[in-house]
Structure 1
Amino acid sequence: MWRRAPRAEDDRVTEIIAGPQMSLLEILALLGAVVLAVARWLPPAARPPVTIGAASAFVLSAAPLTVLGLRWQMLPVLAGAALALPFAVSPLIRRRAGRPARRARWWMALPGSVLCVVLTATGPAAAWAFPVPVFPEPTGDFAVGTRVLQWTDPDRPETATPEPDDRRTVVVQLWYPAQKSPAGTRRARYLGRTEQEARTVSDALARYAGLPGFLVDGVPRALTRSVPDAPVAVDGGRFPAVVFSPGLGGVRTQNTAWAEELASHGYVVAALDHPYDSAAVVLADGRTIGTEVGSTGDDEEDNRRAAETAGIRAADLSFVLTQLDRLDRGGAEGALTGRLDTGRAAVTGHSLGGAAALQAARQDRRFAAVIDLDGYPRDPTPLPFHQPALALTQAIGPGTDARYIPRLTEVLKLSTATGYRLTIPGAAHLTFTDAPLYLPPVPAMVGSLGRTESRRVVAATTLAFLDSTLRHEPGDLAGALSAHGELTVYRPGDSR
């Protein structure tokens, strides 16, 4: 029986309540600036008290904001208030000094008032377009804990460096079912263990995407729904594992909302940072490793490099599954000893990570299922694999690579188990990540599903698939998936 996903109506209400994502101080400063801009048009008797109140509210809220850290979205609000303040206050000062108040004629004052209001309105519009992301409350029965580990594979050299003794190291973040923490317990920061790490990663992601870093300066401020190192849930038995690889240049936290939702339903999610590939990887010793993967402009060479990187990632995914098994057996540090069921493990990934997941499934039969989130298969020699597979794809349009669906279909048909390809209307490539929570809702960028519906659809479809393949729960999987898009099913023995 499929678990209940949050209803679309609930999500729409949440999105409306979230509004422009402004703090109380920012809202007070905004209201003060707006009132200052329109005070000139109030009845004469109302102008003095309203102006004094608005000026006081603005100053008392703007001052602590500058101390606590002013977001760039508030700069036009400050500009609008600074422009309106002298014209709103000067008549009061002149009257108090016994001099006649001078007021410009209405047709001269109107353009200035309009300019102040427009400037002030730009602030909440910018805050709405580039908010501090608010992570949705997971819908499962468990609270969610998280911890970050670093593992080194003694059997694999690091091919990205010339040092012969350098071994392949990955940073892994776990999200797991946890005991409920007391109210007020500090939640985990998004993008990093510390504020400094979060800002380092945020700046690196912005550079990788070609965006000015200040546009997304709210992202490292975000807190998730997980509690660092929370005690593991007492109930629930042994939890299936889901190993995740991010997109090219992506980071381990890029699918945090999805990982928290899965963990709340009784899964342990292990997401990787791939050094020299992820935008930034902060190691335990404080070193930061940036990406060395970039486009050469030569399609053939870029495809070769993508296939090589996917192969390295596939090996990383298998290594992490080995480490999770050691963790369960007590061979590595952690409170999950005896609680991880690595015999029920899925390998997943987004974009290039999805390609790596498909390749890892073919190479490592320990994985019992595979999920590809809009990833173009990169295995240079596709061969049959035995796991059931789910591929979620963006809406296919004129701009989609014409080779994508035929190549994906070819790979899915090689499975000796049932495969599913679900194309989600309104989805874009970044729909399958946390990006809709903090980027402008531009359809070409994050799709048209909205900030909450994107997460809901991806969680509902992947949970249905995992419950069916790893937990063998009864139900109509094809029916559950087709409710969210255009489904194609590939069954073993079908004509090829």
Structure 2
Amino acid sequence: MLNKALGLAVLAGLLTAAPAHAVDPPHLPAPTGHHPVGTTSLYLEDESRQDPWVPEAGARELMVSLWYPATSRGARRAPYMSPAESEAVLRGTGVTGVPYDALSRTRTNAYLDTTPSGGRHSLPLVVLSPGFTWPRSSLTALAEELASRGYVVAGIDHTYENFGMTFPGGRFVTCAACELDVDDFGTAAVESRAKDVSFVLDELTGPHPKWRGGTLIDPSRIAMAGSSLGGASVAETALTDPRIRAGVNLDGTMFKPLPESGLSRPFLFFSEDLCDPTWVRDWAHLTGPKQWLRISGSVHASFTDYDMLGRQIGVDLGSSLAGTRSVEIVRAYVAAFLDLHLRDRPQPPLARPAASYPEVSTSDCYS
């Protein structure tokens, strides 16, 4: 089996507490920006590259969700995930006592295939990479928030690295990478994800973009954020692809150390109230603008939708952040960091403690 420290050991126990009876269908809080949010999905195939986990599958295939500012609301809200994907996530993390389609019932705020809003090369782009075994939908609340504030957001499912995902036509694939015995899987995974992201950027911002709104993206203002393994992959992607101007690691152990030459792009570590030794190790090698913030009372899942959604379906993950608080905090600080470094807008909460977010503090782990 693969290196448990990569993700399964982190995930184990997060969704396994005995659930209470859930009353209402789960929902994502409404985003706070001024734009209606549209969403669509893309199937992409990288014919230049063999799948790293299932070579016999042939070319690397990816599913990407795009969230974006829309000209108006549409007729139908987007599903959060399919019932099969919900079952894969809940079974994979050991949940019992709730319907296995519970997560698929989640009410979102984005409308399917609505018309994008914006001028040519006017919208910054943020790429989101989820945690190991978790799908791209696990960061939907953050994606909707950023889109409502005028960002295009691309959430990537890294194929064969999550409990279950669906391709067009209904083909369903599971976590083949979970069953592999790979030396230094963490390094292999972040390097593979960096290649996934660069390919997606090519497809979105190249001369013939695969999305109809591709010409709205400003290729000079691109950032990446990720949770867990996705967060660990941000630095590697920024090192290998100069199009990534800023990065956000949401509670992801740095499986591949930063090089001695360092990373000069703006970078945010956002974590539980803990001192990850790999972050302490790499802190000095972040040579550009940098911050390390911690959320008191959070758990690993608090940097995704699952802390909040787990509570809504009756599963206690151990967080003390009630209601939608985990999502509110992550949305506010990630958006502030991106607004500062992609839009040059000063952000007071990043410069000093914010009274409205007493749970957030600057880490002293590196002092």
TM surpasses 0.5: yes
- Per the alignment, do residues 260 and 303 of structure 1 end up closer, same or farther by CA in structure 2, a change over 3 Å counting? farther
Q: Deviations over 1:326-359 (max 9, x none)?
A: 2xx4x03433142101211111110011011121
Aligned to 2:96: 212
CA distance in 1, matches of 2:328, 2:250: 14
The counterpart of 1:428, out of the listed 292, 299, 317, is: 299
Partner residue of 1:175? Answer: 67
Matches within 5 A, 1:21-420: 126-128=21-23, 131-163=24-56, 166-181=58-73, 185-191=75-81, 198-212=82-96, 214-234=98-118, 238-294=122-178, 304-326=184-206, 329=207, 331-380=208-257, 382-383=259-260, 384-396=262-274, 405-420=276-291
1:167 partner letter: A
Q: Secondary structure at the match of 1:172?
A: strand
Cross-structure match for 2:332: 460
Alpha-carbon distance between aligned partners in 2 of 1:378 and 1:476, rounded to the nearest angstrom:
32
CA distance in 1, matches of 2:120, 2:186: 39
Does structure 2 conserve the Cα–Cα contact (< 8 Å) formed by 1:422 and 1:481? no
Conserved 8 A contact 1:239-1:266? yes
Flag structure 1 segments of 5+ consecutive residues without an equivalent: 1-122, 192-197, 397-403
Q: What one-letter code is carried by the residue in structure 2 that aligns with 1:469?
A: H
* Greater percentage in strand: 2
Measured in 1, the distance between the counterparts of 2:248 and 2:152 equals: 15
Give 1:154 deviation, angstroms: 1.9
* Distance in 1 between residues matched to 2:80 and 2:55, nearest whole Å: 33
Distance (Å, rounded) in 2 between the aligned partners of 1:348 and 1:362:
14
In 1, Cα distance between equivalents of 2:283 and 2:242: 16
- Asked if 1:448 is matched to 2:341, the reply is no
Shift of 1:366: 1.2
Kept in 2, the 8 Å contact 1:138–1:264? The answer is yes
Residues 247, 267 of structure 2: 8 Å contact kept: yes
Offset of residue 179 of structure 1? 1.3
Report the alpha carbon displacement of residue 388 of structure 1 after superposing the two structures with TM. 0.6
Tell whether the 8 Å contact from 2:340 to 2:346 is kept in structure 1 after alignment: yes
Look up the equivalent residue of 1:175 and give its one-letter code.
Answer: W
Residue 481 of structure 1: CA displacement? Answer: 6.1
How many residue pairs get matched? 344
Q: Distance in 2 between matches of 1:234 and 1:470?
A: 16
How far 1:405 moved relative to its partner? 2.2
- Quote the Cα distance in structure 2 between the aligned partners of 1:302 and 1:440: 35
Q: CA deviation at 1:395?
A: 2.1
Contact 2:310 2:316 in 1 (8 A): no
Greater helix share, 1 or 2? 1
Structure showing greater Rg: 1
What is the one-letter code of the residue matched to 1:338?
A: T
Q: TM-score, normalised by structure 2?
A: 0.86
Identity of aligned residues (%): 32
CA distance in 2, matches of 1:177, 1:250: 25
